[in-house]
Amino acid sequence: MELKKDSNAVSIDMLLIVHSEKRHAAQGAHSDRQADPGAPPQRRGGLQGVGNRIRRWQKLERNDLHGNLAEKQHAQQTQVITSYDNQGTQLTVEVHPQDAMPQLLKKFSLAKRLQGDKNGNTRARQPGGKDAHAYPWDRSSLKSMPLDLRQFEKLDTYASQVTVKSGLDALVSDLLQEAHSDLERVRAIWIWICHHIEYDIEAAQEKDRQAFKPTTILQTQKTNCDGYAGLFERMCRIAGVQCMTVPGYSKGFGYQPGQSFSGEFDHAWNAVFLEGRWHLVDSTWGSGLVDSTTSKFTFLYNEFYFLTHPALFIEDHFPDNKNWQLLKPPQSLRQFENNMYHKSEFYNKGMLSAHPQTSIIKTVNGKVTVTIESCTPTLFMFMLNGKQEHGLLSLRKNGMKLDVYPPTVGTHKLQIFAKGNSEIYSSVLEYTLKCHYADIDVRLPAELHQPVGPSWFSEQMGITKPSHPEPVIYTSDGRCSVSFGVEEGISVLASLHGDDGPVTEETQRRYVFQLQREKRTELKVQLPHAGKFALKIFVKKRQEPGNYVFVFNYLLCCTNSKVNWPMFPESFGNWGQDNELLEPLSGVLPANHNVPFKLKLHGVAKALVKGQDTWPLTLNREGYWEGSCNTAGCQEVYVMVLENANHNFYSYILKYKVNAQ
């Protein structure tokens, strides 16, 4: 039938009017079908938990054509119940006193719409081909429509500061003062909810809890996921924008990689109709997060879940009705369970892809390799079972490579973090590693920090053109020399770290001797024994106070069991960066021997070697100070310099120990 008023027509699929003496029969026939608009027939027990609460919310909504009608009407007055099937067919049942004027005949008009947009559409268009986006993600945008977030800066500031003065209608009216399009109306509502409504953890854990009413949410400023979705839908309707609540499964709080989903749905979100297409939002996850250790909610706005690209939204949202995926082709539940879960921060921080693309990885010969591609250079770190150990993470210009060597057979948890443009590392990926063979020969030093090897970051910190661009250096005789360019005004510091043997906190710098050759720094390294070591490199600006900052490290590997190099001589503050030591390089001298010395020293007037006696060094034509000393009767030998010929004060620059006789 069709009703006409003021020359404007409203289409009704079917109008069923039941007199009051039939009330119980009518309710019994239809109360179990209070389904979500657009939801499919029930499966796996129907909409349980979250889903049932969504129905209760909608029943409250249908009883209130204007937002407040249900609270104003007497219990014996007209009740309106509306239901939908998965094809979008709308069934409206009105229960009213006998001989009373049906409310539907009074209420249908463009000004008083049941469930429609500002154009008077009485039902939301179901998603179709024009709403679908290609899967997999084409990397074009994180959003489902072109957006310049800068256009929302003024609106976001305004909406986040709006306060509740009376009811929901007044709140929406206040929010829309600065909104001039459907997109801006939705944005204002989204921003307000995300900044004012707190996730109610206790309510989320009570499966039989009654649905939140809008008035309750505004009073407590707390709700659970279906409350967020229901409030968002209600506010959009008041604003004249089509919106739907979508139930389904989610990879949210408590999710474990590889888990399966069945039974009741655990989440709800929204689809909103803008510019001729459906788009997806999740105001629950846009508002903040729950700490897994304390189970407390923290407001932390997340832009990612506003008009998210459907090919990204499907990674952690699986709707009960596949049409609400807004994808072509749609994904199956099995695909949803098996697909790699990239957290929202993965995309927020500019990541594009990761390999492997499955959340559970089996080791191959005791090793797992993970690579990430990013839009821009990004800093990463990882944790294996909560510790930054047993892995080699090297940075690439647009991403990173991580080799992980689990120390034991069994299951391990691998977390990967990225820094992006912020100062905080955020978790972006999580893998479960299945290790069937642990290679004990690949034990890495505990002090091997991340990243390993030079990269864009070391270049940014002033270290350029390294002699060894790869992160691992192999040496057969236990010695190596590493060099790199150093920008003007940058000081470099290096130290050697191993898990056992003579390398201690006091001696870790004594196995590295630093030389300056024009604009390049050379690091001579001698290993005390065979094994694996971390050569850590730090920098600081000379003119600025503060400590040296870690930049990167090399992994040094030696399998020669005969290696047993001593430490280099100890250097003091007056050992200039431009100085060069040719001999002796060993920090321990033989007893009762004549030992030759050859050094290049800049800006000194005199130089000598002091042991039991004093032996002067002479300056040759090549600019080297040369000489020798006898170690008889000595325990220590020093190299000393006089910087000003007019002074008599000598400074210590090098110290050697002498072997016991």
Q: What is the pLDDT of residue 205?
A: 73
Structure tokens belonging to residue 613 = 């006696």
Indicate the length of the chain as a whole number.
661
Better pLDDT: 660 or 565: 565
Instruction: Check pLDDT > 90 for residue 299.
Output: yes
In the prediction, which pLDDT does 179 show? 97
Q: Where are the beta strands (DSSP E) in 225-284?
A: 243-250, 267-274, 277-281
**Lowest-confidence region among 163-172, 410-419, 438-447, 495-504:** 495-504
Separation in Å, CA 89 to CA 109, 243, 276, 302: 20, 16, 20, 35
Name the one residue in this structure whose structure tokens are 């978790």: 427
pLDDT tens, position by position, 255-291: 888 899 999 999 999 999 999 999 999 999 999 998 8
CB 466, CB 454: distance < 8 Å: yes
What's the rounded Cα separation, in Å, for the pair 605 and 645? 5
Cis preceding linkage at 356, omega within 30: yes
What does DSSP assign to residue 49?
B
d(CA 32, CA 18): 17
| Residue 21 pLDDT greater than 50, yes or no | no
What sign for the dihedral angle of Cα 421, 426, 429, 433? positive
Q: Which amino acid is at 359?
A: S
For strand 549-558 and strand 531-541, is the pairing parallel, antiparallel, or unpaired?
antiparallel
pLDDT 10s digits, 373-414: 999 999 999 999 999 999 999 999 999 999 999 999 999 999
Amino acid at 599: L
In single-letter form, the type of residue at position 597 comes to F
When pLDDT is averaged across residues 119-126 and rounded to a whole number, the result is: 62
- Per-domain boundaries in the chain: 149-335, 347-442, 456-568, 571-658
Cite the DSSP H helix spans in 410-545: 456-460
8-state DSSP, 92? E
Q: Which CATH number fits domain 456-568: 2.30.30.40, 2.60.40.10, 2.60.40.2250, 1.10.240.10?
A: 2.60.40.10
Helix (H) or strand (E) holding 413: strand 410-418
Q: What is the pLDDT, as a whole number, of residue 62? A: 38
Query: What residue type is assigned to position 649 of the chain?
Result: F
Q: What is the pLDDT of residues 184-242, one digit of tens each?
A: 999 999 999 999 999 988 877 776 666 678 888 999 999 999 899 999 999 999 999 99
CATH superfamily placement of domain 571-658:
Immunoglobulins (2.60.40.10)
Q: For residue 595, which phi and psi values (nearest 5 degrees)?
A: -115, 120
Q: How far is CA 299 from CA 193, 289, 555, 560, 590, in A?
A: 11, 7, 41, 56, 67
Residue written as tokens 């796996």?
44
pLDDT of residue 212: 77
Confidence of residue 576 (pLDDT cuts 50, 70, 90): confident
DSSP letters along 621-635, please? Answer: TTS-EEEEEE-TT-S
CA distance readout (Å), 151 to 154, 179, 180, 183, 188: 7, 12, 12, 11, 12
Structure tokens at 629: 């000393």
| Each residue's pLDDT tens digit, 135-173 | 999 998 999 999 999 999 999 999 999 999 989 999 999
Tell me if domain 347-442 and domain 456-568 are identical in fold: yes
Question: Which positions are annotated as active-site residues?
Answer: 225, 267, 282
Distance between CA 608 and CA 482 in Å, rounded? 29
Distance CA 61, CA 245 (A): 12
> Considering the domain 149-335 in this protein, what is its CATH number?
3.10.620
Residues facing 567 on adjacent strands: none
42 close to 247: Cβ distance less than 8 angstroms: no
Contacts of 310 (CB under 8 A, 6+ apart): 132, 133, 135, 144, 280, 325, 326, 327
pLDDT-derived band of residue 95, with 50, 70 and 90 as boundaries? low
What's the whole-number average pLDDT of the chain? 82
pTM equals 0.75
Q: What are the start-end ranges of the H helices in 205-306?
A: 214-220, 225-238, 283-287
Give the residue from 611, 617, 613, 612 showing the smallest Cα distance to 642.
Answer: 617
In the CATH scheme, what is the code of domain 347-442? Answer: 2.60.40.10
Cβ atoms within 10 Å, residue 397: 9
